[in-house]
Structure 1
Amino acid sequence: MGVFEPLRQRSFSLYFAGQVVSNVGTWFQNLALQLVVLAATGSAQTLSGVTIAQFLPILVFGVLAGRLADRVRPRTILLFTSGLAAATTAVLALVVAAAEPDIRILYALVAVLGTVQAFERIAGQAIIFELVGPTALSRAVSISTIALAAARSIGPGLAGIAFQQLGAPACMLLNAASFIAVGVSLLLIRPASLHERARRSESAPVRTTDLLRQRAVSTLLIANVVIALFAMNFGLVLTATVDLSYGGDATAVGAAHALNAVGAIVGGGIAAALPRVGVRSLIPAAAAFGGALLVNAAAPTLALFLWAGPLLGLAIGYYQGVLNAAAQSAVAPEAIGRLMSLVTLGNYGMVPFGALLMGWVIDASSGRVSLMIGGVAALACALLVALRAPRP
């Protein structure tokens, strides 16, 4: 099977296209929301409240969302979440249209949207098995990470243009339209074409605690949490490094994110080309990620830092592709939802804590030091997996 063979399947290609559109739309909303809050308050601390409101629901509802994804067809969940997200974002557009937006209402709506997306993110992982079946699962999971990287390569630039030309409410409405596009892509997927996942056995149900007792699974989850906490805060770290450490302007910040995203697309493709992915595949993936972080931290000038950007992006894309594919391959299909809820808790649930921690590190030292810390953490996780994960 070719690397991009899953994209030849109609159901997966429809889902992939919807995810690219949705992730681009998310950039429109996030950029506009950040600029509106900063303009209204002038406070970075107030802005951090938006991040907390967005990601805290994942910590609260992540496990519940995983259980639901193992009981209800993920396509059904995603149809509901796309509609709810579109409606919430449309209301958000009305609020930011006010001359003086009420920050408390913004927080509340972002929290509602974060709750909806807690269920959407996990169902979005669980549906991949049903779209392509077991034989193409690893490649399809790795390819799905490319949707995030592709959106990150074009989203910020388009969002900036839209904000300047159309304003914040229009950015929110464009994001609402992207959620509607996701719903349309799901409606075009024929339920009869989906691969049935075995449902939980009532006599011997697989519980979350059973998953945590598996050495391979617990090792993967530990590595995921550590790397997410110390090494995955690129929205903050790349911007701060270019701006504060190298004195770069907004163009340089945008270039750093774009170059990083282009590399991530390539890295996702490399992960998809692997013939077999298991938990021990994280050893080279985490090591490569750690090495790339250290290379970027060592760049003495902005020009060299930008040149190293695609290498870091490639390592990120490769690591994320391997991580998600290894997680889905580590358990039986009927437990994918619950395990991916735990992976999502590690990825997104650590965002507020990682942002606070790395923000403190950057203020106390520099963005390059935060990159170095992330590199050391990723290398330590590669060693952890090598020592702890069982051999196949």
Structure 2
Amino acid sequence: MANVVIQSQQTSRFALHSRVFQIFMTGSLVTRVGDWMDLVALNWAVLQLTNSPLMLGVVNACRLLPTFLLSVPAGLLADRYDRRKLLIYIQLAMMFLTFFLGYLVDSGPALFWVFILIVTLRSMLAAMDSPIRNALLPNLVPPNAMSSAIAINTLVINLSRIIGPAIAGMLLAVTDIANLFYINAWGTLGVLVSLLMIRSHAVPKFNKKNREKTTFREASDYVKSQPSVQSLLMLAIVPMVFGFPYTTMMPLFARDLLNLGPEGFGLLLSISSIGALVGATWLSIGKEIKGAGKWLICSIMGFGLSLLLFIAAQNFLQAGIAMFLVGLTSQTYRTMSRITLQVHVPDQLRGRVLSIALMDRGFIPLGAIFLGAIATWAGTTWAGVVMGVGCIAITSIVLTIRRQIWNL
């Protein structure tokens, strides 16, 4: 019987046939739901405490800018040490800091700058979590199921994006914001339990000799020798600056353009997640996707167009349709980009190369500050227009400079 199970895992391209992967995804789903509740609470708390679009961008910059500083060191750690144990330590520390954030929110605006400091510290840990987590995924499934594992991980993230904001929106109407932070802190137990259940033999061993040989220059030389990888990294900057800050700007869009409160704001984010879920589900079945470059370009263009449709929406129905398309196009791009990259990167370099790729998230707060400033000085509508037009126009320029992207 055991031999049959092993053979099934070796031949199946569907990642959920791996028991270890099932356990990890189940725990991750619980924790991710809490994370998205936390994000809704964070943005809404900042808007209530400061009533400043610019401050909303600043806080999210503190949340995401650590990616620039700690993504690469995290990649080095992922290639040197036990990835499972690293994630356990990081999640424990994040759990403690999240409890502290709830306490600070309860304390009121007098401790707002301490609140920003704790957000930054927790974000430093989150910046380290992502490269290590993404490097661990291929170790939990057979090699031919790696693409499916990446897509299913994305599917879990977007399923939590549907559940989390919707629950957060309802809870914000009946309870204090601080309670959402407490709920997220307890939700961290989900991924912690799953990591503890994964046996040590399910992940690769790291010996001292490998640790001494692991350097960032090795990954840098690899990227320099791979034009396709360079093109993927360059293209990723565009949607991060102009497109993905929409989650940060959504409280402002919901309030100023559609006259919605926290419930409507949370519902719009959930609708975008449904679109993302559709895209991720399609990619998760494990079939080989040809013409990745064409899919990447068209999905970013569609992302920009969907944002423009949202800004032009006159009612909630139109806004909801536009947000579904925003989620579908943005996540199709994001998942395809990660799959294309991971397929070409050897495991001994995976953590470091992914840490370089995941630094693109650091451009989101820069975009949020830029767009928040536009909203402050020119109005919310103009900020949305810049987002959509920027995705389309800058992608066209990048494609002109790096034509090989189309043929990836």
Q: Report the secondary structure of 2:81's partner residue.
A: coil
Cα drift, residue 291 of structure 1: 2.4
More helix by share: 2
Contact 2:399-2:406 at 8 Å conserved across structures: no
Partner of 1:355: 368
Cα drift, residue 122 of structure 1: 1.0
Q: Once the two structures are aligned, what percentage of the paired residues are identical?
A: 23
Tell me if 1:285 matches 2:301.
Answer: no
Cα drift, residue 144 of structure 1: 0.7
TM-score (normalised: structure 2): 0.85
366 and 113 in structure 1: CA distance in 2 versus 1, 3 angstrom threshold: closer
Give distance in 1, aligned partners of 2:43 and 2:186.
Answer: 20
Tell me if 1:150 matches 2:159.
Answer: yes
Contact 2:303-2:388 at 8 Å conserved across structures: no
286 and 22 in structure 1: CA distance in 2 versus 1, 3 angstrom threshold: farther
Cα drift, residue 114 of structure 1: 0.8
Partner of 1:297: 308
CA offsets, 1:216-266, max 9 Å, x none? 111111011122112221214555445444x34235434432221101001
Cα drift, residue 76 of structure 1: 1.0
Give distance in 2, aligned partners of 1:296 and 1:143.
Answer: 25
Contact 2:76-2:214 at 8 Å conserved across structures: no
Q: How does 1:182-201 map to 2 (within 5 A)?
A: 182-194=191-203, 200=210
Q: How does 1:144-293 map to 2 (within 5 A)?
A: 144-194=153-203, 200=210, 207-213=218-224, 214-245=226-257, 247-250=258-261, 252-273=264-285, 275-276=287-288, 281-293=292-304
Contact 1:66-1:339 at 8 Å conserved across structures: yes
Amino acid at match of 2:284: A
Cα drift, residue 374 of structure 1: 1.9
Amino acid at match of 1:231: G
2:359 pairs with 322, 345, 366, which one? 345
Q: Report the secondary structure of 2:190's partner residue.
A: helix
Tell me if 1:377 matches 2:394.
Answer: yes
Cα drift, residue 30 of structure 1: 2.7
Q: Report the secondary structure of 2:107's partner residue.
A: coil
How many matched pairs? 387
CA offsets, 1:283-341, max 9 Å, x none? 21331331243145245533334223322222122111111111211211111101111
Q: Report the secondary structure of 1:102's partner residue.
A: helix
Give distance in 2, aligned partners of 1:383 and 1:273.
Answer: 33
Partner of 2:404: 388
Give distance in 1, aligned partners of 2:307 and 2:100.
Answer: 41
40 and 390 in structure 1: CA distance in 2 versus 1, 3 angstrom threshold: closer
> Structure 2 stretches of 5 or more lacking a match?
1-10
Cα drift, residue 273 of structure 1: 3.6
Amino acid at match of 2:404: R
CA RMSD of aligned residues (A): 2.8
Contact 1:122-1:340 at 8 Å conserved across structures: yes
Partner of 1:318: 332
Contact 1:237-1:370 at 8 Å conserved across structures: no
Partner of 2:6: none
Partner of 1:11: 20
2:345 pairs with 331, 337, 355, which one? 331
Contact 1:238-1:367 at 8 Å conserved across structures: no
Contact 2:101-2:118 at 8 Å conserved across structures: yes
TM-score (normalised: structure 1): 0.88
Q: Report the secondary structure of 1:207's partner residue.
A: helix
Q: Report the secondary structure of 1:259's partner residue.
A: helix
Tell me if 1:126 matches 2:135.
Answer: yes
Partner of 2:41: 32
167 and 296 in structure 1: CA distance in 2 versus 1, 3 angstrom threshold: closer
Contact 1:200-1:334 at 8 Å conserved across structures: no
Q: Report the secondary structure of 1:136's partner residue.
A: helix
Partner of 1:74: 83
384 and 124 in structure 1: CA distance in 2 versus 1, 3 angstrom threshold: farther
Q: How does 1:100-111 map to 2 (within 5 A)?
A: 100-111=109-120
CA offsets, 1:180-226, max 9 Å, x none? 22111111111223356898596796623213302111111101112
Contact 1:66-1:337 at 8 Å conserved across structures: yes
Greater shift, 370-379 or 82-91, is seen at 370-379
Give distance in 1, aligned partners of 2:214 and 2:195.
Answer: 32
